[in-house]
Structure formats: structure tokens, C-alpha cells
Amino acid sequence: MSSKTLTLPARLVRHCFHKPRRVVCVDPVRLYYGSPQGATGSDVRTVDLRSDTVTKPGAAMRRAMAQAEVGDDVFGEDPTVNELQKTAADMFGMEAALYVPTGTMSNLIAVMVHCRERDDEMIVGDLSHIHVYEQGGSAQLAGVHSATVTTLGDGTFDLDQLISKIRHGYPDPHYPRSRLVCVENTHNIQGGRVLPLSFLQELRSVADKFGLAVHMDGARVMNAAVALAVQPSVILQHCHSVSVCLSKGLGAPVGTMLGGSKDFIQRAVRARKTLGGGMRQSGVLAAAGKIALSDMIGRLEEDHRNARRFAQALLKCDPSLYRVDLTTVESNILRFCLRDRRMSPAEFCERMAGVDEEEVKALGQGVRVLMFPHVGDTVRAVWHLGISEEDTQLAIQKAQFVAQQHKLKSVRAA
């Protein structure tokens, strides 16, 4: 990182002393699903780091969608969907795959197929997406009870604790029956952590010993594969089923692939229909998924590189406002803290998303950087195909500007 990258222009510091400001603010507290609004115009650039779900299909993907050969997928007659499902199954190293509208539905279908009786139970991490962000659908719609294990900082959990949660009393009528254990890779809440292959191997051994199935919420498993420099099948060989999102870093507008054995997928087709996920001429959407799997995986490394570059810049920022553990920056998601407790993550996100005249004068343009306050008093930022190296540099400059403003404000207050 060059000194030029990390040094604030003198005019920026000068303008930070000006008190009168016209600030455009946003409400960041809705976390994942808020829609920040602010100033727009030719002198304002937006860098949207809220999530990799904000990606948009490019020209090649849109052309493929427009030209897709279609049929009735509920009848199994959509050739584009069938090609996508075959491609995904081969890539996953699994017997079959199913195209599903959303990741939440895909995870729920997996739970429904693995846990077929109303007294069945699944074991999940207490910070997993399935447990926290999917509205308890396994209980609402599948009648499946959840037991939790403590999610560790690297996204794994203690296997001894897992074993302690497995029910051994069946068919005693007092207890549910342990059927399934779920993992998440990469781990969203823990900042895009990549599950070690050794952990997955040991987990599968435990699952086999106690007769449990292993499902991976692999919404970002392609990021994990790129980070580990392995084929997805190397990761997924330790799982009975997997859910892989096409509409995050891979850039498709919609869709998730559910992979598993032929028997599993046959049952999944029935569950998908029950949940309203049977689509007709869905090859229009599946065409985008084909591009996602064929062309978009390799470029994920760019997102990882930009996330790490931003993290390194935060550590070198003067004044020192940010705290980052670089050992945790493994993919496209970054979590960081603020050293000064007088600025909350919500306030920081508001300042990053706001644009005022001082900033335009100091930086030459306004930059709206959209992030979310996150769990544990952290800030979450996610890189994706819509964020270039130039965008990352603008986000770095904005973070430096906010840090300098905060320091000057503190000095004036003192």
C-alpha cells in the first residue's frame, strides 16, 4: 500500500475544521434489508458494500436469458434448467441437483427431506443463517425442532459439544430424534470465514457414527473453494446435501442450486412443489445460472483481494479509528470494530453513507459508502462484482475522511 493511498490531502484536513455542514444521512439500523437513500448526482459516487446480494446481471448474462431455450420445468421439460442442474451436480460431485428460487427455500427443502417425521431434530450453529435469518421455517413449516451448538469465531463448532447434543433416547417418547446437522460455509455472521477441510472431515465421521445427515448451507461455498484453491467437490464430499446460491457473488438475478443424491433430489422436487417453488418456463432464469457457474467463479478472487486491501488500509489509517483482525479476512466479507466507543457502528455507517459539501470540496466528489452495523458492535462490508478496485480505493478515502472528521470533532469538543 503506497503512502499516497493512506495520506489525507491537506485540503481535506482544512475543510474538516469548517463547522457549517449540510449532511445527507441514512437510517442504517435495519441491517441487512434496509434501503439507504441519500444524495445523488454527477458529483456523488455510491459504493454499495451492504451485501453481495445487490449484484446485477451483466450484458452476457442478460443475452443468455433473452435467448434461453425453455420448456415446462414442472414436467421436467425445460432444457436450460436440465443443463444447469447437470452442470451443478457434476461441479458439486453429487448425483443430482435441483434449481430452486431462493436459498431460504433450498435450506428448508433440505431440512424437510432429511427430517421426514414430526419428532425429528436438527442441530445447527447458534449464529447460523438457518437459525437466525430464516424465520424458523424448519419449525414453522416442517415441524422440525432445532438444537443449537455454539458457533466459534472461525464458523466451526466444538464436535464434543455436538456429540453432547445428539439424542440417544429414541424411541423414548420424551425426546425428539436427532437426524441432521447443518454447517455454513463461508460463515456469514462470522465475517466470511472458510470452514477448514479437516473440520468437515471430522464432522462427517461423527455424523456417520451417529447416523446423522450433514447439510451445508453453502450460499457462498464458491468463495470458500476459491479461498482454499480447491474444486467445490473437495469441500462437498463431506456433505450429504448442499445449497449453493447463484445470486450473490456469482451475479445471477435469482436462484439457488440444491445438490444431493438422486433419491434426495427426487424427494426435494416434491418438497419444492409444496413450498410453491415449482416454476414453469424457468429456463429464462436458469440461463443466468449457467453463466454464473461457468464464468463467474474465478473472478471471486478479485472480491477477496479488494476486501483484504480495504482491511489493510483501515489498519494503516491515521488517526487510528479502526480495529481489524487480518487473520479473519478470508473471503469477501469483512467485519471490523471502532476503537473509539463514542462512535457507534450505526453512527459510523450513517457518516459513511452521508455526503456533505466539505467532503465534495476536500475529495473532489461525494462518496456514499453503504455498510451495515453488525452483531457484536461491529461493521460489516461485503465485496462483489459491482465493486471495482477503484471503488475500493474510494471507500478507503471515505473511511479516512470519516476518521479525520471524528478526530477533529473530538478535539473541538475537548
73-116 confidence digits (pLDDT tens): 999 999 999 999 999 999 999 999 999 999 999 999 999 999 99
116-153 confidence digits (pLDDT tens): 998 899 999 999 999 999 999 999 999 999 999 999 99
Using an 8 Å Cβ cutoff, are 65 and 246 in contact? no
Question: Does the pTM exceed 0.85?
Answer: yes
pLDDT of res. 6: 40
**φ/ψ (deg, to 5) at 250:** -80, -10
Percent of the chain with pLDDT over 70: 90
55-68 confidence digits (pLDDT tens): 999 999 999 999 99
Whether 20 shows a pLDDT value over 50: the answer reads no
Whether 409 shows a pLDDT value over 90: the answer reads no
The arithmetic mean of pLDDT across residues 205-223, rounded, is 98
348-366 confidence digits (pLDDT tens): 999 999 999 888 888 888 9
Burial class of residue 259 (count of CB atoms within 10 Å of its CB; 0-12, 13-18, 19+) = buried
Q: Which stretches within 211-299 are classed as H helix?
A: 221-228, 232-236, 262-274, 283-295
Match 455472521 to its residue by C-alpha cell: 189
pLDDT of res. 228: 98
Using an 8 Å Cβ cutoff, are 263 and 228 in contact? no
Percent of the chain with pLDDT over 90: 82
Query: Which is more confidently placed, 371 or 27?
Result: 371
pLDDT of res. 123: 98
CA torsion sign for 337, 21, 368, 132 is positive
235-272 confidence digits (pLDDT tens): 999 999 999 999 999 999 999 999 999 999 999 999 99
- The kind and range of the H/E element at 45 are strand 44-48
The arithmetic mean of pLDDT across residues 315-328, rounded, is 95
Whether 31 shows a pLDDT value over 80: the answer reads no
Using an 8 Å Cβ cutoff, are 256 and 105 in contact? yes
Highest mean pLDDT among 36-50, 164-178, 242-256: 242-256
pLDDT of res. 42: 55
Highest mean pLDDT among 22-36, 357-371, 388-402: 388-402
Query: Which is more confidently placed, 43 or 185?
Result: 185
